[in-house]
Amino acid sequence: MLETEHAIYVGSFDPMTLGHEDVVRRGARIFKRLSVGIGINPDKEPLFSSQQRLELMQEILGDLDNVTVHCFTGLAVDFVQEQNAAVMLRGVRTLSDIESEFTMTLANRTLAPDIETIFLMANEQYSHISSSLIKQIAKMGRGTAASKLKQFVPQQVIAPLLAKYS
């Protein structure tokens, strides 16, 4: 029996951004339980290990009682079903974002018709934040990278992120 009050939010979170954090906090207000799934792609070399991402997210989201963080491999819909959740929560920032989200949602409906996908629109101040932009700032921002990154990632991410490029 799927739990409709239980939503799943998946991503690679490599690294987690202020935009991701905002979606989790807003989702946690709407649903009784929110499980975050960190997708592990065995073919890609991540910047942060899955263990490191898990610990960072758990620290950043530690004040939210109804949120748990997990790692998973395989398809997102399989993870949602293993968690007995009925709802996938997605954050969308731009129109090209939502176009690929729509395509993925159609595929997921074919794979798992019982799972409902729900979209939250990014807050304006986060709509331009992407993990690739953050890596670019960390790498090329030179002496001012730390102060720049404050507007893009949670405070806890800055030091480990800069350490990757020093």
Is position 118 an interface residue for its own copies (rule: CB under 8 A)? yes
Stretch that binds its own copies, among 8-16, 44-52, 54-62, 72-80 (CB under 8 A): 72-80
For position 71 contacting its own copies by CB under 8 A, the verdict is no
Q: Which stretch binds its own copies (CB under 8 A): 51-59, 61-69, 71-79, 157-165?
A: 71-79
CB 52 within 8 A of CB 38: no
Length of the chain: 166
Nearer to its own copies, 75 or 162 (CB): 75
Indicate the residue type of 76. Answer: A
Q: Which of 84, 91, 54 is nearest to 69 (CA)?
A: 54
Output the smallest distance, CB 11 to its own copies, in A: 15
Determine if 102 is a binding residue for its own copies (CB under 8 A). yes
User: Which candidate, 37, 21, 19, 31, places its Cα nearest to that of 122?
Assistant: 19
Beta carbons of 100 and 107 less than 8 angstroms apart: no
The SS3 of residue 158 is helix
Say if CB 74 and CB 43 are below 8 A apart: no
Residue 164 interacting with its own copies (CB under 8 A): no
Q: By CB under 8 A, name the binding residues for its own copies.
A: 4-5, 26, 29-30, 43, 73-75, 78, 86-87, 92-96, 98-100, 102-107, 109-111, 116-121, 123-125, 127-130, 133, 136-137, 139-142, 144, 148, 151-152
